[in-house]
Structure 1
Amino acid sequence: MNKHKFIQERRPQWKRFEEFLQNSSRRSLSKLEAEQITEFSQLLREVSHDLATIRSRGWGHDLISYLNDLVARGHNLFYGAPPTNIAGFYRYVSIDFPRLFRANIGYFLTACLLFFLPLGISWYVVQNNPSLATRVIPEEMMTRFDQMYSDQKDTESENAKEDETESEEEFGGSSFGDERATMAGFYINNNVGIALKCFALGILLGIGTVYTLLFNGIFLGAVSGYVISQGHGERFLSFVISHGSFELTAIAVAGGAGLMLGNALIHPGQRTRFQSLQVRGLEAVQIAGGAAVMLVVAALIEAFWSPSAVSPMLKYIVGSVLWLIVFLYLAFAGLQSDQSSLPVSQLEPSEKSGERHSA
């Protein structure tokens, strides 16, 4: 069967399935008659099989994109359930988010390139030539950094002469602040704000996301290079290593979600840009939500652990473990359920073909 004949025969089923998607919602689908639900399920399997066939024969990217969107929406509608309780939230964090992240990992890798590469270059350049920091960092902020780490150094010297209880009180009264719960709220607001900006600006064809990633990468790299060049390397690195694992990774994840929005607008396939944004935007929002959860974790670590009066070596050890945990979480969490729970659009053609034949 050639491509033209195949499309002619199958197009009515695709349109019928699309009508189901347009007229249904997660809530109303359960209220359909049993015959309608059966028809929807059958159409979902058939469209999945059609997608596998077209992919295997290479019959055009636009057609693949169109059917891929139909299958993804159908699977989410038929199998999905809104996380309305703790169990639902736990499933989202432990399974749904990491596997959705892996299914769209290309956007994350692009965001990493746009964020971490400028960060590393800026860090290296400013650390070796601190005078360049003024081109990126406001002078009043540089003065604040000098004060903060100098005050911390003085506090540590005083603490060494006092007993353990007084030492903890002095450190708690350092420039990092006594009210750590308040600081946690500040960090959450600040960090989530950056991530949401990376994500939301993707609506500007991805240009806003690219700019935000580049800007924050250059700025954070300049700050790191400057602080270390002033002789505060150990204090700075021991402070940021723990929460940095969640914080920096989450910014890149949110940036990847923003790039998904931009790509949906630039390459809508056979849909209008608004329809494409609706389809891809749902996954992007879910990924951005996962980044927000990671940033909340980062903020709590930054407020309660990072400024604690423990040895830098212990902070390095804990920080290294946290970086490993972040990697293992994103790479392997929910992996066993990938084949059973992943949107059908992400399954291999052979699996979808087998699903139809076994139905």
Structure 2
Amino acid sequence: MREAAFVKQNEKKWEALSQAITSGKSTLKPDELADYFIQLTDDLGYAKTHYPQSNTTAYLNNLTASVHQAIYRNKKEDRNRFIHFWKKELPEVLYASRAQILYSFVIFVMACLIGAVSAAHDDTFVRLILGDSYVNMTLQNIANADPMAVYKSMGRGDMFFAITVNNIKVSFMAFAAGILLSVGTGFVLLQNGIMLGAFQYFFYQKGVLLPSFLTIWIHGTIEIASIIIAGAAGLVMGNSILFPATYPRMESFKKGAKKGMKIVIGLVPLFIIAGFLESFVTRLTHWPWPLRLAIILLSAFFVIYYFVIYPAKLQQHANPKN
């Protein structure tokens, strides 16, 4: 990008920031200053790379120093940092990553369909995906009129630990695989989606789809949502390498990795909740179906509201004209 175009694209932001701190008493909140500082250092890095001897680089260097001083002059310990992360910081990242969330969801759903169709047309596919031991055990449980007995075969505490660690492992894998230019994340989503599609079709084929749905999706709603959103975090990181826009590729990667990591950190409570539900609630197959359905619907509402609707509302509130 030519220097003139770079300046024109960013000068309003620089001028607004300069005016905000000129008086020596910033009108911006510390968190807002920090966000501007990150953007400014990215701009400075780009300018140093492409226009090292220009007046623009010198100007940005001075402005960055001024903002740095303003941040530390006004720095206060934020006692509500934890609340702020969940209430504002994470939703803002989620809104900015809404396209990646959609892509991740579409990839996963398509993979589920591939798994189901493959299982329908190939009698050996389910065994290939789920393994002979699991299929044989489930067939025996169905014959014993308790198709979901697998969720009762392990102690609650041990199961909670194992399931939570596994959920974290799968989600971090979906995120970390994004470094392979998003292809790795796509593969993880395909793998898990195909497994789920084959898994559910297997129960449909054996005539126990409804009991399996009312059991598995008690924890599966949050668990699958976590995998999809972790996949979106991986796509955010991968796309930052593929499409750096005006930033140097390394700077773009750092920004994408930071955004993706925030999303994955935001999923930690979901890992714990899903692990708790699978270990302590899913096994309660004697509970009436309306209660189990209510848990599934409540989980789905929470996921859709917090990860999709709330970020959009927050953005709309911040920019009412948009």
Q: TM-score, normalised by structure 2?
A: 0.72
Aligned to 1:250: 226
CA apart distance, 1:149 = 4.5
Contact 1:127 1:228 in 2 (8 A): no
**Change beyond 3 A, Cα 1:82–1:96:** farther
Alpha carbons 2:95, 2:312 under 8 Å: kept: no
C-alpha displacement at 1:273, in angstroms? 2.1
User: Is the 1:151–1:175 contact (alpha carbons within 8 Å) kept by the matching residues of 2?
Assistant: no
The question of 1:109 aligning with 2:85 is answered no
- The answer to whether structure 1 residue 136 and structure 2 residue 113 are counterparts is no
Instruction: Between 174-183 and 192-201, report the one with greater CA deviation.
Output: 174-183
Root mean square deviation of aligned Cα: 4.4
**Deviation at 1:270?**
3.4
Structure 2 runs not aligned, ≥5 long: 44-59
Take 2:256 and 2:211, find their aligned partners in 1: how far apart are those partners? 43
1:319 corresponding residue in structure 2: 296
| 1:333 aligns to 2:310 (yes or no) | yes
- Greater relative contact order (Cα 8 A, min sep 6): structure 1 or 2? 1
| Offset, 1:289 | 1.5
Change (3 A) 1:131 1:273: same
Contact 2:95 2:311 in 1 (8 A): no
Rate the CA distance shift 1:101–1:14 in 2: closer, same or farther, 3 A: closer
| 96 and 232 in structure 1: CA distance in 2 versus 1, 3 angstrom threshold | same
Pairing 1:89–2:82 present = yes
In structure 2, distance between residues paired with 1:11 and 1:137: 53
* Aligned partner letter, 2:297: S
Aligned residue type for 2:130: I
Deviation at residue 127 of structure 1 after TM alignment: 4.7
| Equivalent residue, structure 2, for 1:354 | none
CA distance in 2, matches of 1:287, 1:180: 28
By how many angstroms is 1:33 displaced? 12
For structure 1, the residue ranges without an aligned partner over 5 or more in a row are 21-31, 52-66, 156-170, 342-346, 352-359
Q: Give the TM-score, by structure 1 length.
A: 0.65
Amino acid at match of 1:315: R
Contact 2:172–2:264 under 8 Å retained in 1: yes
Cross-structure match for 2:57? none
- 2:259 maps to which residue? 283
Alignment deviations for residues 215-266 of structure 1 (CA, whole Å, 9 cap, x no partner): 1111121112113322332332111122122111111100011011111111
Shift of 1:82: 11
Counterpart residue identity of residue 275, structure 1: E
Cα 1:280–1:36 shift into 2, 3 Å? farther
Percent identity of paired positions between Structure 1 and Structure 2: 19
CA distance in 2, matches of 1:126, 1:192: 28
- Number of residue pairs matched? 286
